[in-house]
Structure 1
């Protein structure tokens, strides 16, 4: 990957449907609700379509599924499918994996295989969808593998668009999106680069505090248009956390170019925007 040719690096892109299998009906119900919430198209693009979109825009991206087979009862998109597709598109695509924390030691075996044999460069966890406290010891065997290889891991934080408006929130418990629940993980696994996904509303100040306090904690700004960011996000991005914040879109729910356009208009300093758009992610992902 030649980062000098890239406009940006999007650290938060979802693979929501397989190239080989039909859409899971359980996930379909959540996609319906999420599309209504985000005012996004209902049809989910296949991975090759996403790759071509990002290549055309000269934006590299981290792609992952969310393995919530226990918490949601939905079949995941295969981590191996994502990794194999990335192997043919390394100029633009960075493969991440997601493993249900409930899989414990067996999940750790998959994590190691994905890193050693399939080139996976990071991992994604979503405590709300996975119905799991981020610091539950059942996940620690998986974290131990990630920590050993000093890889980045993205944790969902804050409100969840998935489940919003559904009866009982689709069974999802927002408490597992509280950023401070991840603080123990940051302490116990100091070689794991932790990226707190989204502005973390309604707990945004917890994420800012953790990124300020912990050398291995970062923030991606995905899932919200920058025009809706809380003022303290802009304040800290321009000052103490200018090397800790990264661009993420949450595509396909938010288009990357729409996010980047809005980011030009919300008060980020001119010298800070390149850090957010590309440079910080390149460093955290080990690309520079």
Structure 2
């Protein structure tokens, strides 16, 4: 089984001019920004399931999404897609929107980007979110790590704040996206320490030297076989096959050296990781 745990969905009309100008520095190689429900479904043809969410990042990277587009995608392709809500804690009614997304639209978790919304994980505005998610057995995926967005405060992308929140809310399942690059060592030690914290490798393969070091560090800290690291693409910023190939071929760059290798078992474990078994207490409620 292959599950893509990190897929973005939004309509073409929800892409603002800022998105076009800022993504030129997002990654090496070509980037096709379209990510409407039909495009997402076609891109996910080689995975068994995909966790999708929209983004409320209009002032940082120019995507002004909403939960309705996520719900429409899930309703159209229910056998493939599972939807998470998006939150922007700066909005006075963000908790009302979240309750609507979960209780009316039947979304199954939450995506939040502290760096993109300019709101620290330690901000008191997030307390109702944490309490609601913990009470309702809903996971929280967080963008951790840096970004190309000029107005996004980089300090909010560092993962050490996750440690504090995980301690305060021990029943809240939290997932650090992108291994918190470039602060992957902080990500790894927090995930190792906290039983309710996980991480994932989306949008990392196209920086192969960094990705190699991330996986080696994860092996050395003994988290690669503890249901701690999950696989994803960050579509449309990465495609499925290139993400698989990037993981499978990670050792090519150290051939002919005495550098350590990413174990085949590590690659297999990550690629076939199953968030539906671990991100909800008692497993995915369906």
Q: Could you say which TM-score interval applies, normalised by the shorter chain? A: 0.7 to 0.9
Taking the aligned partners of 2:224 and 2:63, their CA distance within structure 1 comes to 37
Query: Does residue 279 of the first structure (1) align with residue 273 of the second (2)?
Result: yes
How far is 1:26 from its partner?
A: 3.1
1:10 aligns with 2:20: no
Q: Which of 50, 54, 73 does residue 85 from structure 1 map onto? A: 73
Query: Can you list the C-alpha shifts for 1:219-267, whole angstroms capped at 9, x where unaligned?
Result: 1111210733143533424833421000011111111111111212334
Cα distance per residue 1:13-70 (max 9 Å; x no partner): 112x316x35322333323443xx332334423221111221x21331111122235x
Structure 1 residue 282, shift from structure 2 partner:
2.8
Change (3 A) 1:237 1:59: farther
Distance in 1 between residues matched to 2:119 and 2:159, nearest whole Å: 13
1:128-207 paired onto structure 2 within 5 Å: 128-160=115-147, 162-163=148-149, 170-207=150-187
TM-score (norm 2): 0.84
Q: Residue 72 of structure 1 corresponds to which residue in structure 2?
A: 60
Alpha-carbon distance change, 259 to 87 in structure 1, aligned in 2, over 3 angstroms: same
Map 1:213-232 → 2, pairs under 5 A: 213-225=193-205, 227-228=208-209, 229-232=211-214
Q: Does the 8 A contact of 1:40 with 1:253 survive in 2?
A: no
Aligned CA distance change for structure 1 residues 119 and 38 (closer, same or farther; 3 Å): farther
Q: TM-score if structure 1 supplies the norm length?
A: 0.84
Out of 5, 26, 35, the position equivalent to 2:18 is: 26
What is the aligned counterpart of 1:48 among 21, 35, 38? 38
1:38 alignment partner, SS class = coil
Preserved contact between residue 134 and residue 176 of structure 1 (Cα < 8 Å): yes
Number of paired residues?
Answer: 268
Residue in structure 1 matched with residue 51 of structure 2 by the alignment? 62
**Equivalents in 1 of 2:155, 2:272: separation in Å?**
31
Name 2:216's counterpart in structure 1.
234
- Work out whether residues 245 and 280 of structure 1, in 8 Å CA contact, stay in contact via their aligned partners in 2: no
> Which residue matches 1:253?
237
Structure 1 runs not aligned, ≥5 long: 1-5, 164-169
Task: Report the CA distance between 1:74 and its aligned residue.
Answer: 4.8
- Verify the 8 A CA contact 1:158 1:200 in the aligned structure 2: yes
Do the aligned residues in 2 keep the contact of 1:221 with 1:248 (CA within 8 Å)? Answer: yes
Matches of 2:242 and 2:108 in 1, distance apart?
26
Report which stretch shifted further, 213-222 or 179-188.
179-188
